[in-house]
A and B are shown apart, each in its own frame.
Chain A
Amino acid sequence: MSKYISLTRRNCMVFLRDKTAVFFSLLSMLIVLMLMGVFLGNMNVESITGLLAQYGGERDVALDKENATQLVQYWTLAGLMVVNALTVTLSVIGIMVTDANENKLESFYGAPVHRNIIALSYISAAVIIGMLFCMLTLGIALGYISATGGEMLSAETLAQIFGYTLMNVCIFAIIMYMLALFVKSSSAWGGIATVVGTLVGFVGAIYLPMGSLPTGVAEVLKYIPILHGTSLMRKVCCEEAIQTTFADIPQEVIDGYQEYMGISVIMDGTEVQNVSQILFLCMCGVAAFLVIAILTKRKSISDR
């Protein structure tokens, strides 16, 4: 047990000491923030105020705008939580690729520690660092939102966010570890990081709302775990804001908006329930875990 803790601590330290690695693991988040700040945020706010003006009759325009801004902020926050869960775990798992490349892994294998513990230590480090950065993001974002006059989330909601983040981070860490088993060089891993960092914004429907994507693309996304991860997170983050913003608006309009923004996911005409989404995510995690187990076993038989 103490060996596992030391190895995990080592992996965390190796990652945190590498300032550039930390920065680049957060790059996708910074890009999302920049895009939102520059123009996407406004677009999203306007689409809400437009809806309200269309269906809400006589309204307080200034209040609507304030509510809408808050809703978009929480919507963005939900996206960030998932982006970070993905890109940070990816960077941390990169340590393993580097270790394998520099033959450091062998030096761990030479010590009296079971190989599974070593593997687990990389995944755990990814989970710990992933959680750390997600929680930091959450803290800063909530600080910003409440400082600009926004409404705080309830304790219950915060607990749910924490739970979903933990789930996302764990599942992504396992998936990333599985990917890493196929990668032989650090530069290849860097390539994957670039692709994932670029695509995550689209795949999670974070840069562009689900509704503005072509139907075909949107359909494909529904089979990728990231979208469901973001969807779950958005439901929790936006629930309270949606209620305030869309007060006195017909339910169909709200449902339409939720689908358009990728808050709820509709498959075969019905909304996918939270439980199904959680199950789907867990199944992806379990599948990746099984692949890891099989690969590791085969690897230890044919060694290298």
Chain B
Amino acid sequence: MSEVIRVEHLKKYFKDVKAVDDISFSVERGELFGFLGVNGAGKSTTINMLCTLFPPTSGKVEICGYELGKQNEEIKKHIGVVYQNNCLDKLLTVKENLLLRGSLYETDKKKLLNNIKRVCEILELDGVIKRPYGKLSGGQKRRCEIATALLHTPDILFLDEPTTGLDPATRKSVWSTLKKLQKEMEMTVFLTTHYMEEAARANHIAIMDRGHLVQYGTPFTLKEQFAMDKLLIVPKEGEKVQIQQLLDKKGFTFKQKEERLSIPIPNTMSAMPLLEEISSLIEGFEVIQGTMDDVFLQITGEEK
């Protein structure tokens, strides 16, 4: 697979704030790339720079083979952007909004109308196309925003927190749309989010913290590296001390959480032999797989 975005030593300083401080990464064609970080880590700044909204302080960026800063107009034609906040006009109908946004890319009216038809089919907007944008529900609005970004069939779709503030069902539907787009249209999807379970569906993820890129990898490798599985056990009355001694002897560390003991284990299977040994001493147990949340908290050091 070829690289569709290459970022080298990208920096953005605002007066004394180093919003983005020397980051490098690349995105492959057709992949779903997750860009994570806490609020204020520099995700939006990075995405805005990639979308040509403002120039970097220094660094080199290549998008679809065009160089950022020199061929911005070409880049703009090849990318679609869904911004963090809704940008369409509330008082205009969905169709009017789509026509306007589309006309900024496509000057042939007939082609434009075809594009609108196609996009509405993909995003299931046919039912709401004649309604004023402002009257739609949050999920419908979001789908319209994505539709506008797709009108000119971009090579790369940038989404800045596309699912923030949506209910779980809507979030799911937005995600299945994104997956569909990526598969069927072979589109590269670059998105930022702070829902970790969403990030787990990406092909690659990069995690930013305070302007720096701190981790890059597939969700799987990052989980392997940073998320520990956990075994929770509830000891029978009076058996707690005995279990603790046993764990100490076997070299397990553990934390006490009220009635339960939490034991980090390398993988879920390794809970089996331990459980067999202590089965007579416990009332119940729970094995918890490491999540992306753990990865994220571990990396950004928010868990103290």
In the complex formed, the residue of A with least CB distance to B15 is A302
From B83, B92, B100, A103 is in contact (CB under 8 Å) with B83
Partner of B103, one of A6, A17, A104: A6
Report the bound CA distance from A296 to B217 in whole Å.
41
**Closest residue of chain B to A304, judged by CB?**
B54
Surface stretch bound by A, among B73-81, B247-255, B260-268: B73-81
**A111: contacting residue among B54, B99, B104, B107, CB under 8 A:** B104
- B85 in contact (CB, < 8 A): yes
Q: SS class of chain B's interface: helix, strand, loop or mixed?
A: loop
Known: A7-B100, A10-B100, A107-B87. A112 touches B107 (CB 8 A): no
Does A303 make an interface contact (CB < 8 A)?
yes
A106 and B105: CB pair below 8 A? no
Pick from B53, B73, B91: contact of A106, CB under 8 Å:
B53
Q: How would residues 117 to 136 of chain B score, 1 for a CB under 8 Å from any chain A CB and 0 otherwise? A: 00000000000000000000
Cβ of A109 under 8 Å from chain B: yes
Please pick, from A18, A111, A304, the residue contacting B105 in the complex, using a CB distance under 8 A: A111
Given known A103-B83, A110-B76, contact A303–B54 (CB-CB < 8 A):
yes
Contact A14 B89 (CB under 8 A): yes
Query: How many Å lie between the Cα of A107 and that of B76 in the bound state?
Result: 11
Is A13 among interface residues, defined by CB-CB distance under 8 A? yes
Q: Which of A1-33 contact B (CB under 8 A)?
A: 2-3, 6-7, 9-10, 13-14, 17-18
**B48 at interface (Cβ–Cβ under 8 A)?**
yes
A19 nearest in chain B by CB position: B91
Do residues A106 and B83 form an inter-chain contact, with CB atoms below 8 A?
yes
Which B251-294 residues have C-beta < 8 A from chain A?
Answer: none
Chain B residues with CB under 8 Å of A303's CB are 54-55
A10 and B53 contact, CB distance less than 8 A: no
Q: Mark B54-78, 1 if CB is under 8 A from A, else 0.
A: 1100000000000000000100110
**What is the minimal beta-carbon distance from B157 to any residue of chain A, in angstroms?**
12
Q: Can you give 10 contacting A-B residue pairs, CB < 8 Å?
A: A6-B99, A7-B100, A7-B104, A17-B92, A104-B87, A109-B52, A110-B52, A111-B101, A303-B54, A303-B55
